[in-house]
Amino acid sequence: MLTIGLTGGIGSGKSTVSKFLAELGAPVIDADKVGHAIYQPDGPAYQEMIDAFGRDILAPDGAIDRKKLGPIVFGDPAALKRLNAIVHPKMFARMREMVAAMRAQGERKPIVIEAAILIEANWQPLFDEIWLVIASKERVIERVERDRGMKPEQTEARIRAQLSDNDRRRHASLVVTNDGTLEELRARVGEIWQGAMRRNLA
Ligand code: ADP
């Protein structure tokens, strides 16, 4: 049974593809939410994070405040590396446990994990297939400005800071090009889900 990783750059359309897949009945895990859970006081990264970055990263309720981590690692590659070295392997372990638990409970469909940082975090070994969503820079800038109010320069800076689509492609088993309409994307997602269901049983 297949475990599929869904990735892509900012504004490429990953979350939209996830949403369409979920509508088709796909079990979808959001890696971002997994990241959130491991920062909780009862989560596996909590103490190590405090040891590495101090108690200033805590919100009044004692949880790690992700907004406070930004300024600490921003512009400090060594700190970012330390953060990722704590968090990424724990997220990987947690996602693997989640997939195993879903299988143990009888889930037989392909399981999809949406993870923007899949390749950067070296999570490829968790997946049988990696699906990459891409869109042209112009489309991304236009959509992200329209829907999130981000300025084109901001979006361009984010794109520059991320892995390039060329680098991502080297890891992808399937590429979804999202330069058309939402309905075109929906149709394409329907096709690739059907394909995944077929390969899942093969
Ligand atoms: P990501 O999760 O990769 O950052 P999203 O799925 O959130 O990207 O898409 C970015 C924005 O663009 C969202 O507001 C989404 O509704 C919109 N969007 C995605 N695909 C299309 C499309 N084909 N046509 C129009 N808008 C789109």
121-162 pLDDT tens trace? 999 999 999 999 999 999 999 999 999 999 999 999 999 989
- Residue 183 belongs to domain spanning: 1-27+109-202
Among protein residues, the one with the nearest Cα to ligand 1's atom 22 is 182
Q: Which two tokens stand for residue 29?
A: 């895990």
Count, residues in the chain: 202
Are residue 71 and residue 124 in the same domain, yes or no?
A: no
C-alpha 16 – ligand 1 centre gap (Å): 6
Instruction: For ligand 1, say whether the CB of 162 is within 6 Å of any of its atoms.
Output: no
CB-side exposure of 14: number of CA atoms within 13 Å? 23
What CATH number did the domain enclosing 3 receive? 3.40.50.300
Same domain? For 113 and 17 the reply is: yes
User: In this structure, are 164 and 80 located in the same domain?
Assistant: no
33 CA from centroid of ligand 1 (Å): 19
For residues 51 and 120, membership in a common domain is answered with: no
Are 98 and 23 members of one domain? no
**Predicted local distance difference test score (pLDDT) of residue 201:** 85
Retrieve residue 96's tokens: 């693997």
Which of 1-10, 73-82, 95-104 has the least mean pLDDT?
73-82
Considering the domain architecture, whether residues 19 and 52 belong to the same structural domain is answered as no
Using a 6 Å cutoff on CB, does residue 6 contact ligand 1?
A: no
Do 202 and 118 share a structural domain? yes
Q: What is the mean pLDDT of the chain?
A: 95
Look at residue 45 and give its three-state secondary structure. coil
**Pairwise CA distance, residues 27 & 111, whole Å:** 5
pLDDT score for 1: 95
Rounded Cα distance, 87 and 111, in Å: 22
- Number of separate domains in the chain: 2
Domain check: are 23 and 82 in the same one?
no
Final residue belonging to a domain, choices 48, 72, 106: 106
Instruction: Please indicate, yes or no, whether residues 181 and 97 belong to a single structural domain of this protein.
Output: no
**Shared-domain flag, residues 98 and 128:** no
Say yes or no: 82 and 115 in one domain. Answer: no
Indicate if ligand 1 lies below 6 Å from the C-beta of 168. no
